[in-house]
Amino acid sequence: MCHSVVSFPRFRRAPIVEPMFAAYAARIDPDHPLDGLELGDRPAPDARPGWATVDVRAASLNHHDLWSLRGVGLPEERLPMILGCDAAGVDADGNEVVLHSVIGQTGHGVGPKEPRSILTERYQGTFAERVAVPAWNILPKPKELSFAEAACLPTAWLTAYRMLFTNAGVRPGDSVLVQGAGGGVATAAIVLGKAAGLRVFATSRDEAKRKRALELGAVEAVESGARLPQRVDAVIETVGAATWSHSVKSLRPGGTLVISGATSGDRPSHAELTRIFFLELKVVGSTMGSKDELEDLLAFCATTGVRPVIDEVLPLDRAREGFERLESGDLFGKVVLTVG
């Protein structure tokens, strides 16, 4: 008797995607950005060629995260998107690491034709238990820095470092005006400038923030728009429209204004064009920084004892409180979220 063998199709079992806790943008709301913030489970990142996963220990908030919730750089079709640009943590081999958050800077992990982006614009961010980035983007964390301190450096502090030392080109003994003391980049510029031997002036509308700026090393802190005792070699500008005219008027002939943000708007009522060309002022745009600059910044902090100014440390499940602090402007330095 002949028995026929019946074969059944083989089904490949789908991989099990483990959930992880995260803070993410679920909706875009330009007017009420925090309405789109959700906290809950999201899929853990998949492994992909040339990429590596990092267990997050600490991540810091940036204004970029608020802008993302408003839809700036983050279209609705990419939602839901885990927020967070900066992180320090532990890689798969147990090494303590820091992430460089610019993806595709030289094509690593994404190919040469993809434009560079910051985490959360195209790829899921760091406000989660785990994050995936190109292996090229991972740097060793100096043992001298805590996870919380290291997590403050890759966006705000790297931006300030590049503004001062690459784009303003200041040297020890030069004078610098930092607008809007209290913000992450401005605070970093004061601390880094002091450590590098610069004569730092700062502005703020808030008396308490002016006092803190002096404690961090500013030689003088004045109200926003107030006349300085001298014209400066460079201005670090992140506020935008509200301080633009004051920034231009505060420069010496041939001085440099470096701008990396416009939190008060990007259309000043007085562009001061006549002053800019007559005094041969330089206006330089600045965005983030390179991996090499982050490596230099990490070494600078480790060897000099400079540490990021941290306003508050919160567990990840209290991320909304951190966002509320950031949106209100009622902070001095960085808000850090911890995991585990």
Q: Which of 232, 213, 234 is nearest to 223 (CA)?
A: 213
Question: For residues 71 and 133, what is the distance between their CA atoms, to the nearest angstrom?
Answer: 22
Phi first, then psi: what are they for 88, rounded to 5°? -130, 145
Q: Which of 173, 189, 167, 161 is nearest to 300 (CA)?
A: 161
Read off the pLDDT band of 232 (50, 70, 90): very high
Over residues 292-301, the mean pLDDT reads 97
* Each residue's pLDDT tens digit, 246-284: 999 999 999 999 999 888 888 888 889 999 999 999 999
Over residues 18-25, the mean pLDDT reads 95
* Each residue's pLDDT tens digit, 192-212: 999 999 999 999 999 999 999
Read off the pLDDT band of 188 (50, 70, 90): very high
Q: Which class does domain 156-285 fall in? A: alpha beta
Decide if 307 contacts 157 (C-beta within 8 A). no
Q: What is the pLDDT of residue 16?
A: 52
Q: What is the pLDDT of residue 330?
A: 87
Maximal CA-CA distance, the chain: 107
Domain boundaries, the chain: 19-152+308-338, 156-285
Read off the pLDDT band of 8 (50, 70, 90): very low
CA-based torsion, 112, 114, 115, 116: positive or negative:
negative
- Beta strands (DSSP E) in the chain are 19-25, 37-43, 51-60, 81-82, 88-91, 96-99, 102-103, 117-118, 130-134, 138-140, 175-178, 199-203, 220-222, 232-237, 251-259, 282-285, 310-315, 334-338
Q: What is the pLDDT of residue 170?
A: 97
Q: What's the count of helices (H) and strands (E) in the chain, helices before strands?
A: 9, 18
Question: For residues 96 and 99, what is the distance between their CA atoms, to the nearest angstrom?
Answer: 10
Q: What is the pLDDT of residue 182?
A: 87
Over residues 53-76, the mean pLDDT reads 96
Lowest mean pLDDT among 4-8, 20-24, 93-97, 135-139: 4-8
Whether pLDDT at 338 is above 70: yes
Work out the angle between the directed axes of helices 184-195 and 207-216 (0-180°, nearest 10).
Answer: 30
Whether pLDDT at 340 is above 90: no
- What are the Cα distances from residue 175, in Å, to 212, 260, 301, 308? 19, 19, 21, 21
Strand, coil or helix: 305: coil
Over residues 28-55, the mean pLDDT reads 95
Q: What is the pLDDT of residue 297?
A: 98
What length does the chain have? 340
Whether pLDDT at 169 is above 70: yes
Question: For residues 204 and 239, what is the distance between their CA atoms, to the nearest angstrom?
Answer: 11
Over residues 75-104, the mean pLDDT reads 97
* Percent of the chain whose predicted confidence (pLDDT) is above 90: 85
* Each residue's pLDDT tens digit, 235-245: 999 999 999 99
Phi first, then psi: what are they for 266, rounded to 5°? -110, 15
Q: What is the pLDDT of residue 180?
A: 94
Q: What is the 3-state secondary structure (H, E, C) of 257-273?
A: EEECCCCCCCCCCCCCH
* Each residue's pLDDT tens digit, 135-153: 999 999 999 999 999 999 9
Read off the pLDDT band of 50 (50, 70, 90): very high
Q: How many CB atoms lie within 10 A of CB 33?
A: 21
Contacts of 86 (CB under 8 A, 6+ apart): 59, 60, 62, 99, 101, 126, 151, 152, 153, 154, 155
Read off the pLDDT band of 14 (50, 70, 90): very low
Q: What is the pLDDT of residue 262?
A: 86
Question: For residues 272 and 260, what is the distance between their CA atoms, to the nearest angstrom?
Answer: 18
CA-based torsion, 320, 324, 330, 335: positive or negative:
positive
Domain over 19-152+308-338 is classified CATH 3.40.50.2300: no
Lowest mean pLDDT among 69-73, 146-150, 179-183, 225-229: 179-183
Q: Which of 179, 160, 180 is nearest to 170 (CA)?
A: 160
Q: What is the pLDDT of residue 143?
A: 97
Q: Which of 147, 192, 151, 159 is nearest to 174 (CA)?
A: 192
Whether pLDDT at 2 is above 70: no
Read off the pLDDT band of 46 (50, 70, 90): confident
Mean pLDDT across the chain: 93
